[in-house]
Amino acid sequence: MRSLARWFMDTVIRLGTDVICRIEKQDFHKVPMRGPLILVTNHIGSLEVPLMFVHLQPRKMIGLAKIETWDKKFMGWLFDLWEAIPVRRGEADLDAIRACLDVLKAGNILAIAPEGTRSYHGRLLRGQPGTAMIALRSGAPILPIAHWGAEDFGANIKKLKRTPFHVRVGRPFAVETHGEKVTGEMRQEIVDEIMCQIAALLPEEYHGEYAGRIAEPKYLKFV
């Protein structure tokens, strides 16, 4: 019954997003079809989560969601169906970190929005260091995916207009500390470099906190 419910919801979302959006899908083929992968992306609103979840199939992708999501009955049911990982924001949630590592050990995609919250306007917010912690502990390759256009979804749907949903997939990379002791400052620097890789895929008007900060990374090694 669970698999049937998941198939039904995925099909409805896939067909629905194709109707209400004009999705640029040409870069999706750059996502590896096997092996553990940390997918990092910007977080604008509620549209990109289900859209990318269903359009990256058959790869299994599991993401994180704030624990308050489960306070809403339907959303809690849906995120359970998708095996989402509840996370307590603003604290070191060790249970969530362990669950993330288990996803990667199983060879699946772990989807993370380093900003930790929705921007709504599409301009990048400062990344949170938890992403660096997971990358360092897992050693899994990281793939940046940037998207834009969803910030206009609410206005477009009221006018019965389709929303252009632009997607760009970057180059995979790994985190390399060069033997340095990992500090809180280093974790923030790593996540800032990760966010710069997302920014590099976006038009300049979306760079937000990372405007003018894209430079040769110190802790990222492209693979």
Q: Yes or no: say if 177 and 219 are a contact pair by the CB < 8 Å rule.
A: yes
Domains, in order of start, for the chain? 2-222 (3.40.1130)
Query: Cα 74 to chain center, whole Å?
Result: 22
Query: For 93-104, what is each residue's pLDDT tens digit?
Result: 889 999 999 999
3-state secondary structure of 109: strand
Query: For 48-90, what is each residue's pLDDT tens digit?
Result: 989 999 999 999 999 999 999 999 999 999 999 999 999 987 7
Q: pTM of the full predicted structure?
A: 0.94
Q: Yes or no: say if 165 and 22 are a contact pair by the CB < 8 Å rule.
A: yes
